Amino acid sequence: MHPPPLNQVALSQEDAGHIGTLGICSYVYSGLQCLGGVFGALYVGMGIFLLNQNEQAGWFVIGVGSLISLFVIACAVLSYLAAKWLGEGKNWTFCLIIAALHCVGFPLGTALGVFTILVLNRPGVKAWFEARKPRN
């Protein structure tokens, strides 16, 4: 007895190229976001400097810097996951939400987000994601 064939949908060559390019750009954008986390670390360093100068505002600056770093690193991890799953054809909704969030990061994030939304909404790409969804 042979199992039934899997639902296999092939991407057009153009869609596959666009998905690949968007995946690479998303990885690069994730790396750039990680570099943005360095600015939060600079705030933490300034806060430590202020504490060494007996300024109580140093604690506030450390707190703000820590929050900035955590937020930026969380965004970078989400962008990385979206890039990974975009290339694998998994989690269409997650990829679409992250693409919409990328639109806030002008100018690179906006361009990446808009193009990703456009490609994800193509019927062939939607069918490819749907076919790769695990069945229970």
Q: List, for residues 79-119, the tens digit of each pLDDT value.
A: 999 999 999 999 999 999 999 999 999 999 999 999 999 99
For the chain, give every domain's residue range: 19-131
Query: What residue ranges in the chain does DSSP mark as E strands?
Result: none
**Which residues lie closer than 8 Å to 28 by C-beta, 6 or more apart?**
none
pTM of the model: 0.87
List, for residues 59-82, the tens digit of each pLDDT value: 999 999 999 999 999 999 999 999
pLDDT at 29 over 90: yes
**Which residues lie closer than 8 Å to 9 by C-beta, 6 or more apart?**
124, 127, 128, 130, 131
pLDDT at 8 over 50: yes
Structure tokens at 27: 């990885």
Pairwise CA distance, residues 89 & 78, whole Å: 16
